[in-house]
């Protein structure tokens, strides 16, 4: 919310009061999910976020028309989502024979250890949110719609991160922790190598796909009602700039567990501090000249700064990990990347002509936008997969 929107502050404050208990419930959900993941049970924790979406939709459908301020239904939906997720995951721990009891003993050595490990982790894990917050504040000084353009582009960036980056990071953490506890340096290095290769295999085509189909994707998803063709164009440019950072964002999701599995939370925090500083400097450096020149694409500088800061974060984590000597890349990385680059070129050669042939996506009826978009995504994915297969990957 922009600082100028003072009239919305009372509504935001009331919604904050309603949703505040959600922090307790989602923390309990995260604890239960971590326990289940440590027992290699990934399915149920991965499915519980669906309950969040269902609760939000149910609240909007059932409560919005019965409340004096319909927006409050979203807040109640968030609270209900937190309760539902706890009710699903907490009994699942009990079926494993784990039944935590609430005992407040802040002097317990285990509690002190958790706090010492947790505090640096809070900052290093939230660096992306901090960068988005910086961008939001800067965007509030631009045109009124700049914040919305960046928000929509960020939502689309979160799709591949949530589907693949978080999934790989979640699966790999228990493996790395087990190898570290067993003092199995070879297994630790092989697991991390696998995770990094999977990120490159999935992250690079995801980034290229969003770059090539930024505006068509925005038109198909959002260009309805009050969302204009101009908005579509502006979100497309922001998405194009931010999508360049997807591989780095996904690499971070895998590199962070490499430190956490060794109970090293301070090193990622140092990288996070440098990343936030770099993001602020880059945002000011990229946006200021565009804004002063009256360039309508000044908001794109914020998106690009976010992407570049993400690249720096991944590079620092990689450097720290290699410097400590706990990761030794397996042979064949150069050939692996070369085949991916060739497959990406084939993918672009298929997607770009189709995109240009369709022309102005916003002018198409809604159904045809989706038909051509899905056709483009399918053709690009098929071309990428076939090219990799032809090269023996």
Contact between 284 and 304 (Cβ < 8 Å): no
Mean pLDDT in the chain? Answer: 84
Higher pLDDT, 183 or 267: 267
CA distance 33 to 94: 12
pLDDT at res. 4? 45
pLDDT at res. 2? 45
CA distance 12 to 1: 9
CA atoms lying within 13 Å on the CB side of residue 243: 24
The number of beta carbons lying within 10 Å of the beta carbon of residue 327 is 18
pLDDT at res. 117? 63
DSSP states along 284-299: HHHHHHHHHTT-TTHH
Hey, what are 370's tokens?
């989706």
Contact between 141 and 233 (Cβ < 8 Å): no
CA distance 28 to 49: 14
CA distance 196 to 237: 28
pLDDT > 60? residue 159: yes
To the nearest 10°, report the CA torsion of 285, 281, 135, 295.
0
pLDDT at res. 221? 87
* Least confident residue range of 145-149, 302-306, 307-311: 145-149
CA distance 345 to 292: 37
To the nearest 10°, report the CA torsion of 17, 61, 83, 14.
0
pLDDT > 70? residue 356: yes
* Least confident residue range of 81-85, 201-205, 358-362: 358-362
Q: How far is CA 328 from the centre of its chain?
A: 27
* Least confident residue range of 18-27, 109-118, 174-183: 109-118
pLDDT at res. 339? 94
* Least confident residue range of 201-210, 253-262, 348-357: 253-262
CA–CA distances in Å: residue 315 to residues 245, 251, 263? 12, 9, 20
- Each residue of 372-382: pLDDT tens digit? 999 999 999 99
Q: Which residues, 6+ apart, have CB-to-CB distance to 130 below 8 Å?
A: 276, 279
pLDDT band for 69, please (50, 70, 90 cuts).
confident
Contact between 352 and 338 (Cβ < 8 Å): no
pLDDT > 60? residue 15: yes
pLDDT > 70? residue 323: yes
pLDDT band for 118, please (50, 70, 90 cuts).
low
């Amino acid at each position: 919310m922009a600082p100028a929107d003072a009239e919305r502050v009372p509504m935001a404050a009331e919604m904050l009061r309603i949703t505040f208990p959600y922090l307790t419930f989602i923390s309990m959900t995260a604890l239960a999910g971590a326990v289940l993941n440590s027992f290699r049970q990934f399915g149920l924790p991965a499915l519980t976020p669906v309950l969040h979406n269902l609760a939000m939709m149910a609240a909007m459908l059932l409560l919005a028309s019965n409340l004096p301020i319909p927006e409050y239904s979203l807040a109640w939906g968030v609270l209900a989502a937190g309760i539902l997720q706890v009710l699903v995951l907490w009994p699942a721990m009990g079926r494993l024979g784990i039944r935590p009891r609430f005992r407040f003993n802040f002097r317990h050595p285990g509690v002190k250890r958790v706090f010492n490990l947790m505090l640096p982790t809070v900052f290093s894990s939230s660096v992306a949110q901090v960068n988005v917050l910086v961008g939001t504040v800067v965007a509030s000084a631009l045109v009124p719609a700049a914040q919305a353009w960046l928000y929509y582009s960020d939502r689309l960036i979160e799709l591949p991160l949530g589907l693949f980056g978080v999934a790989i990071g979640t699966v790999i953490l228990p493996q790395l922790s087990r190898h570290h506890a067993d003092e199995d340096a070879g297994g630790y290095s092989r697991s991390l190598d696998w995770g990094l290769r999977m990120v490159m295999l999935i992250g690079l085509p995801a980034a290229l796909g969003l770059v090539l189909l930024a505006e068509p994707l925005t038109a198909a998803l959002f260009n309805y009602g009050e969302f204009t063709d101009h908005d579509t164009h502006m979100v497309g440019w922001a998405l194009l700039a931010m999508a360049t950072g997807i591989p780095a964002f996904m690499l971070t999701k895998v590199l962070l567990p490499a430190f956490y599995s060794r109970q090293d939370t301070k090193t990622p925090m140092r990288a996070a501090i440098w990343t936030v500083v770099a993001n602020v400097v880059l945002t000011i450096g990229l946006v200021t000249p565009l804004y002063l020149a009256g360039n309508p694409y000044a908001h794109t500088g914020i998106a690009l700064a976010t992407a570049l800061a993400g690249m720096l974060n991944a590079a620092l984590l990689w450097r720290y990990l290699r410097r400590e000597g706990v990761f030794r890349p397996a042979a064949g990385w150069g050939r692996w990347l070369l085949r991916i680059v060739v497959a990406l070129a084939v993918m672009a050669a298929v997607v770009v002509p189709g995109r240009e042939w369709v022309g102005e996506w916003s002018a198409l009826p809604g159904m045809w936008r989706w038909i051509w978009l899905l056709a483009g995504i399918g053709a690009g994915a098929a071309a990428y997969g076939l090219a990799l297969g032809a090269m023996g990957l």
